[in-house]
Amino acid sequence: MFTINPIGKVVCERKDVEDDYWGEVNSVIEINSELDESCLDGIEAFSHLEIFYVFHLVSDEKVQMGARHPRNNLEWPKVGIFAQRGKNRPNKLGATIVKLNKREGRKIYVSGLDAIDGTPVIDIKPVMKEFLPREDVQQPSWSAELMKHYWK
Amino acid sequence: MFTINPIGKVVCERKDVEDDYWGEVNSVIEINSELDESCLDGIEAFSHLEIFYVFHLVSDEKVQMGARHPRNNLEWPKVGIFAQRGKNRPNKLGATIVKLNKREGRKIYVSGLDAIDGTPVIDIKPVMKEFLPREDVQQPSWSAELMKHYWK
């Protein structure tokens, strides 16, 4: 068992959990005052970051330990929780690659973060090309359908 | 504060922490018996997965809260811990995109996982194209130099 302490939080206009339409959301990540603000030094040399956060509003009873239909849509196959990115998952971890727009002191301004206002951030990693897939990415058709309106 | 429970562990031939030469390492991720093995159903339809794990051998005293030279190499600039991917970071979280080769029951066989034998796994997410960067990725030259022998 491990203990995770938030290193910051998300500030944005979206207050409610929604499945789609994250494309226009701009967010600020504010780093906690316990960390030295030098923890962000040099980050602006990267165009993209991966933000790690906790789906903090998910109750333990909602966590899925087996398989389910993504978004409870019966037209999509029942797949394991580790074969989907839904929030009701063991450990409730979220991770999303965002575009970095600006850094100011202990704040970073990003686009494309699918996390609501107040979400606890637990890590930030710079995106390096060498850590992206080195082969073609294949995925099932249900996942492309599910993503159709996600970034709109 | 949040509590994280491992959902599985890494089995591989590499027993010692090393910076480079992860390219030839093949690993098995074994899911814990508390989870239903259906948690992996349908995962083989994805070519790539992102594996989330804990750098469990890092002691609390080693965790960097500010800036440092990556790999203590003075030829590279001093950058914040969130502008690098080193293991001595708050919350000690690792995340790597791997190639999925095979699933058998509660085991998945992967290539390109930079974690030693026994590493606790805390989440697995399928890689979808829609979650990869939608713009060109820029990164500083020190990071490309650092990665030169990583996947060899």
pLDDT in tens, chain A (152 residues): 999 999 999 999 999 888 888 888 999 999 999 999 999 999 999 999 999 999 999 999 999 999 999 999 999 999 999 999 999 999 999 999 999 999 999 999 999 999 999 999 999 999 999 999 999 999 999 999 999 999 99
List the 109-148 stretch of B: residues with Cβ below 8 A of A: 112, 120, 122-140, 143-144, 147
For residue B132, tell me if it sits in a domain. yes
Q: What is the CATH number of the domain that holds A117?
A: 2.40.30.70
Closest chain B C-alpha to A107 CA, distance in angstroms: 12
Largest CA distance in chain B: 49
Q: Which residue of A has its CA nearest to B91?
A: A4
For residue A3, tell me if it sits in a domain. no
For residue A1, tell me if it sits in a domain. no
Asked if B3 reaches chain A (Cβ–Cβ under 8 Å), the answer is yes
For residue A32, tell me if it sits in a domain. yes
Which pLDDT does position B129 carry in this prediction? 97
Number of structural domains chain A divides into: 1
Q: Two tokens at A117? A: 């206002």
For residue A112, tell me if it sits in a domain. yes
Closest chain A C-alpha to B60 CA, distance in angstroms: 12
Burial of B148 (0-12, 13-18, 19+ CB in 10 A): exposed
Which pLDDT does position B23 carry in this prediction? 84
Q: Two tokens at B70? A: 């990556």
Cβ–Cβ gap B47/A130 under 8 Å: no
For residue B151, tell me if it sits in a domain. no
Closest chain A C-alpha to B112 CA, distance in angstroms: 10
At a CB cut-off of 8 Å and minimum separation 6, what does B111 contact? B25, B26, B27, B98, B99, B101
Tell me how far CA of residue A96 lies from CA of A26, A136, A139, in angstroms.
Answer: 14, 20, 18
Q: Is A150 left (phi over 0), alpha (psi -120 to 50) or beta?
A: alpha
Query: From CA B100, how far away is CA B80, in angstroms rounded?
Result: 32
Query: From CA A75, how far away is CA A27, in angstroms rounded?
Result: 33
List the 37-96 stretch of B: residues with Cβ below 8 A of A: 38-43, 45-50, 52, 54, 56, 65-67, 77-85, 89-93, 95-96
Which pLDDT does position B67 carry in this prediction? 97
State the residue for tokens 């037209």: A75
Closest chain A C-alpha to B91 CA, distance in angstroms: 6
For residue B39, tell me if it sits in a domain. yes
Cβ–Cβ gap A66/B36 under 8 Å: yes
Query: From CA B97, how far away is CA B81, in angstroms rounded?
Result: 20
Q: Which residue of B has its CA nearest to A51?
A: B82
Helix ranges (H only) for chain B are: 141-146
- List pLDDT tens digits, range B65-115: 999 999 999 999 999 999 999 999 999 999 999 999 999 999 999 999 999
Helix ranges (H only) for A1-136 are: none
SS3 A30: strand
Which pLDDT does position A131 carry in this prediction? 96
C-beta pairs of B131-135 under 8 Å, 24+ apart in sequence: B131/A85, B131/A96, B131/A97, B132/A97, B132/A132, B132/A133, B132/A137, B133/A47, B133/A48, B133/A97, B133/A99, B133/A127, B133/A132, B134/A99, B134/A112, B134/A151, B135/A47, B135/A48, B135/A99
- Structural domain including A109 reads 8-59+87-129+138-146
ipTM, 2 dp: 0.96
For residue A110, tell me if it sits in a domain. yes
Q: Which residues sit opposite B29 in a β-bridge? A: B10, B108
Question: Is the sign of the CA dihedral A118, A121, A124, A130 positive or negative?
Answer: negative
Q: Two tokens at B15? A: 């027993």
